[in-house]
Structure 1
Amino acid sequence: MKNKYMPTALSLYINYFIHGIGVIILAQNMAALANQWGTNDGGVAVVISSLGIGRLIVLLVSGWLSDKFGRKPFVILGVITYLIFFAGILLSKSITVAYIFGILAGIANSFLDSGTYPALMEMFPKSKGTANVIIKAFISAGQFALPLFVSFLVANQVWYGWSFVICIVVMALNLLFISMGGKFPKANADAEVETAEANSDAADDEEVESPGNLWLDGTLFILYGYISQATFYLVSQWLSQYGQQVAGMSDVSSRALISYYSVGSIVCVLVTAVLADKAVKEIQFLGVYTCLSFLSLLLMYLFPTAVMCSIMSFVVGFSAAGGVMQLGLTVMSSFFPKGKGTITGAFYTAGSIASFTIPLITGAMSKNLANVILFDVFIALIGFILAVCITVRYHHLFKPTTKGARDLESDQR
């Protein structure tokens, strides 16, 4: 709590609470928006898909630019663009105009990611994994709160736009704070220290600019970014239908699976934060969580009962959606400490591609939902294999030959 960047960090987390709302706000207000735009639910779904396009347009470039010009400008750009999105959706009268504002929402998300993830790692260099995983908790909290608020508005026949107005007010206040008083560390200010430690661990007699190999390690992490996004995105889209059509659950019970899934993701954030505070390294979570994802999906596929689906929904939410992508990014930053913005862009671009391609693949398989979950089992297995490879590379590059270890060996002698 003595960290001078704590107020700014809290402001960054609040941005992601609103982002969590922004991701689902169109779907939650689908009927009202369809009426406003003169379309149907399918038309609103098309607008929702535009968020992914906007994210892909600028994510990679904005990450690189944040290394050049700092984190604060991109956080501010992200907030401003989100404000335009929320206001634009309320004012738009056609699906074409709404689609343009949807693209802006994806761009806003990219700007926020490019500035926020690197900034948090630089604000809390000794607890980077925890700092990044907490983002997931705020996203989940926003996605948990919005449906309750929308249900309240509907039940009381209140204008749906209040859900947008509240987001505008919170974002505007946050923009004022960040612009006027938000303190950010210099971009990659901790890179020299990290690189020196990595070089000392890897080879005391050599000087290496970056401990990671761009082609080998970079490829592993890009693939992991794709797979980790694909794993939880697929199951989150098809979980309710799988419970109803394959496990024979009622409509209400099958929808509750998403709630168990969301609770699991929030619990994972808390568990990860506690364990990280006890000096458990991010790399140690990676293999365990991906293995749990694989096993939970496999059990759900092999034993499609209501009880098994309910339990495994929590477990897969815990292991696949509880911040494993954020942990993967944190570990990647250890391999490439001088380009946190660039690697954030590359890592999440891979995830964005997964958001596009996975629906296309699973849509063709949707006649047999058991096969959809089986497909996710194989994806999770590949994720586990990638996590093992990354772990092996990590222990190869960061051998336990730190000064403290050498001093301990000397004392023992």
Structure 2
Amino acid sequence: MKIAYLAPELPALSATFVYNEILELEEQGVDVQYFSVHRPASIATDHKLEAMRENTRYLYAQSKLTALLANISVLLQKPVAYLSVLGMLLADIVRLGVVTRTAIGQVMRFFYGAYLAKLLCKQKVQHLHIHFAHVPTDIGMYACKLAGIPYSVTSHANDLFERGWLIKQKVERSAFFGSISAYNIKHIESLGAPSDRLVITRCGVDDRIFPPIDKTHHIAANTIGGIGRLVEKKGFDTLIKAVAVLKQRDYPVTLKLAGGGPLEQELKQLAIARDVEEEVKFLGPLAHSEVPAYLSELDAFVLPCKTDSNGDMDGIPVVLMEAMLSGLPVITTRLSGIPELVVDGYSGLLIEPEDEMALANAIQQLLGDAELQARLVKDGAAHVADEFSLRTNVQRLMALFEKAIGDSQ
């Protein structure tokens, strides 16, 4: 089986779930070709990604002349297919509104779709799998219709809720259309998409990389942590405010915050304003290989996700799974598909988004109750292993790929 993967940025530091899925497929014997819309702003540097870094082809790094020549070539070689897909594009433009920015961008995505189609045909790819249902799927669906091969999608969060154009059509044209949570599947169905194409495709975590932490020599110090891009939807402002609430209660905790992003200076200023600049440690971005050691320094993992001002929100953050597998109790929010992973009082604790008092209460409750910690850790790790195992979910994907290829022949 020879397949290709297409993502917005590959291999991106902030999208470990994409490249880990590819690596597991390759370990299972699948031949995978790598395509990316853009070069990553922050490229993942793990040694195991050397081949991916060297062999990924970046579509938008190609000149418009190169893309134009690809379109001419496809038109000459497959005139019927090209004109048919061009008609599909025109119908999509009408749906989007002829003079909208998205519609204009759709023309460019069709343009580069023809370039991708040439590469797929040249490499004799049998199936294309796409992560994120916005720009990569626009490019990929046109490319696959031109190349005459099936495609599938794993959708996540902002690609549905903030940038979810043409979702119904993308589902109808796909071999299957996955999403990471039942919450997302219900949303896609509400857009009129056919339910027989929809499947839950979890972003799994590798329990070989995140075995339970050995806490034999761990000295409890009320140390909590959170990992993620320093952006609004992660809710790290709420976490810093909760640390300040706990300090006011004479219940000090240390917060080790890992990640980089546009809100870094704003969050540092918030820590100063709330008089917790000593308690909050900003560690900067971590390579994925550095995460297990970081988690071993913590007593609990906290990720208070929220909906940002543009409507974007997390789906089911993989870093929560990694923390749970590592043997950490977790606190997070009732948002999107997160309660499918963290069941309140069973596999972790849930609070409402943007509630620093409730978050402070949950942190204090958890750190002060060893029995609760032990129970959440045990049940949380078991839940991740049962439902969110990388190996199990990749095997499910492989079966779907094989069926899609078989049905297309």
TM-score (ref. length: structure 2): 0.26
Q: Give the number of the structure whose residues are more often helix, by fraction.
A: 1
Q: Which has the higher contact order (CA 8 A, sep 6+)?
A: 1
